[in-house]
Amino acid sequence: MRKNLFIIAVTALAFAACTTPQRPAEITITEQELFDKIRGGWAGQTIGVVFGAPTEFKFTGTTIQDYQPIPWSEHYVKYWWDKKPGLFDDIYNDLTFVETFEQEGLDCTTETLAKRFAFAEYHLAHANQAGRYNIRNGIMPPESGNWVNNPHADDLDFQIEADFIGLMAPGMIPEALDIASRVGHIMNSGDGFYGGAFVAGLYAAAFVSNDPAEILDMALEPIPHESTFYQCVDDVRKLHKQYPDDWQQCWFEMHKKWNRDVGCPKGVFLSFNIDAKINSAYVAIGLLYGDGDFAKSMDIATRCGQDSDCNPATVGGVLGVMNGYSNIPEFWRAPLSEIESLNFDGTEVSLEKAYDMSYRQALEMVRRAGGTVADGKVTIPQRKAETLPLEQNFIDTYPLFRERKDCFVDGEYEFDFTGNGFVIWGNLVCLRSITPDYVNRVSIRHIGSEVFGLAEPDDPYVAEFEVWIDGKLDHISRMPMKNTDRKLEPAWKYRLDEGRHTVRLKWLNPHKDYLLRVNDIMYYTSTPPTNKYYHN
């Protein structure tokens, strides 16, 4: 009996070995093909972000129905280029790192990359801005992206700017993940980091496979299977097998199970969800249900909603690599030509310059990995990537309640709660930016969200608040008014002992021209809430 079981086991293993696709030890493409794929990656990403521009976060918690048209036309890319330069943050964030590697060499340190990114003067938001603030205030990676110091650590910021990594590491996922580890912890950790590592893997894999399902498998495999990121995106693969012809049913099942945000103060308990897991799942839906078709894949990724410009940008970029620039349909590619030579906001880099830099970096990466570049051909070694270390954010930190405050502070502010953590969502308001007529018509205590972000771009004022927790000074929160210096949340604290806590803000340098607006306060607990109602 034991002998028979042994034979069965050996036979099963042999069968599995025969049926499991084995990648060759190396893959050879021409230099022209490599350059065409790199161009396709940058172009596809840019086309995708413009395609999704009018829908970005306008469909949260719902799909974009079939009857809703998504426009595309001649001069459309230039229209958005002029109208909203910040739309292209997916690209200009990447370009900062591309330019740094070009100028400092491929061995440049995380510290160098972090400082170049943090001191760029373009607009940032969410995990990017939180990481920038930390670095400008002396908190360096990986602490700058760690969830304890960054409430946005699970947001998709690294995910939307990791495209360049796969382009400089064509077909080489281990090398791509090494770069991802150097870059991604500047602004993210945990699932937020895995989102970028996943996207870097998608782009790298797209150089050596023409099957979107295989590309997805290759990119997801190095993500720790215990992580919620892996489990979320893996569910898309399972649902695709169950509902192979119905992406909306797949979306609905994903929505029921995964559409919750734990960290981002803008999304907790609300329909807005910028979490990396669910948005990467929408990328996976676009790739699996799009059947390799450029337009169909972008359309599905966009219609999944939430960050519906970034997600089709990733899908467009991956398919741009897989098919090459020359095979992107002219309908999509033609409007791009008007901006390919123009430098992106806050940079000295254009798409045309990016094509060349990424190509040079890719050739050097291939040589470093033991590949060859000779006689117009590039031979790329194929190695299996090791699984990334497991890191998970917001451990024993569960959203408990979101309390609407909607008040203004000009001195001290105090609140109490029961739990193990809190985040204040709010911002500084500069009264000089509000017109006298508006102030005459509306009491300053009832000014609505119209005042958000109103300030002089280079306003030097920095508010300082003492943050007292349970009668002890915990830290001093610095809140610069300048946009690129700003702190996104006035104060937060995780991992307190579970129990009753009192928090007091004391403004050390109040000024008559400024107020602190406190919008909401999120409270956290160490155990998943079981009761339906919150009692404070």
pLDDT digits (tens, 9 = 90+) for 243-299: 999 999 999 999 999 999 999 999 999 999 999 999 999 999 999 999 999 999 999
With CA atoms as reference, report the closest residue to 157 among 189, 122, 112: 189
Q: Is residue 410 part of a domain?
A: yes
Judge whether residue 20 has pLDDT over 80.
no
Tokens describing residue 384: 């299996």
Tokens describing residue 253: 């099942």
Residue 89 sits in the same domain as residue 228: yes
Angle of CA points 402, 155, 477, to nearest 5°: 65
Q: Which amino acid is at 57?
A: F
Tokens describing residue 293: 């078709």
Total length of the chain:
536
Please name the residues in contact with 79: beta carbons below 8 A apart, sequence gap of 6 or more. none
For the chain, the domain total comes to 2
The percentage of residues in the chain with a pLDDT greater than 90, rounded to a whole number, is 86
CATH of the domain at 444: 2.60.120.260
Residue 327 sits in the same domain as residue 222: yes
Q: State how beta strands 26-30 and 377-381 pair.
A: antiparallel
Q: Is residue 161 part of a domain?
A: yes
| 61-65, 309-313, 331-335, 443-447: least confidently modelled range | 443-447
| 113-117, 186-190, 215-219, 442-446: least confidently modelled range | 442-446
Residue 371 sits in the same domain as residue 510: no
CATH of the domain at 224: 1.10.4080.10
- Arithmetic mean of pLDDT, 183-202: 98
DSSP letter string, 358-394: HHHHHHHHHHHTT-EEETTEEEEE--PPPPPPP--SS
Sign of CA dihedral 522, 395, 310, 88: positive
How confident is the model over 76-127, as pLDDT tens digits?
999 999 999 989 988 999 999 999 999 999 999 999 999 999 999 899 999 9
Residue 128 sits in the same domain as residue 162: yes
Question: Cβ–Cβ contacts within 10 Å for residue 244, how many?
Answer: 11
Helices then strands, each counted (H, E), the chain: 19, 11
**Under a CB-based contact definition with an 8 Å cutoff, are residues 308 and 56 in contact?**
yes
Q: Which amino acid is at 249?
A: Q
Q: Is residue 535 part of a domain?
A: no
Residue 162 sits in the same domain as residue 113: yes
Q: Is residue 80 part of a domain?
A: yes
Residue 428 sits in the same domain as residue 319: no
Residue 347 sits in the same domain as residue 438: no
**Under a CB-based contact definition with an 8 Å cutoff, are residues 403 and 523 in contact?**
yes
Using CA atoms, how far apart are residues 163 and 155, in angstroms rounded to an integer?
A: 16
Residue 475 sits in the same domain as residue 405: yes
Domain that holds residue 312: 26-381
State the chain's mean pLDDT as an integer.
91
Sign of CA dihedral 9, 10, 15, 17: positive
Using CA atoms, how far apart are residues 123 and 237, in angstroms rounded to an integer?
A: 35
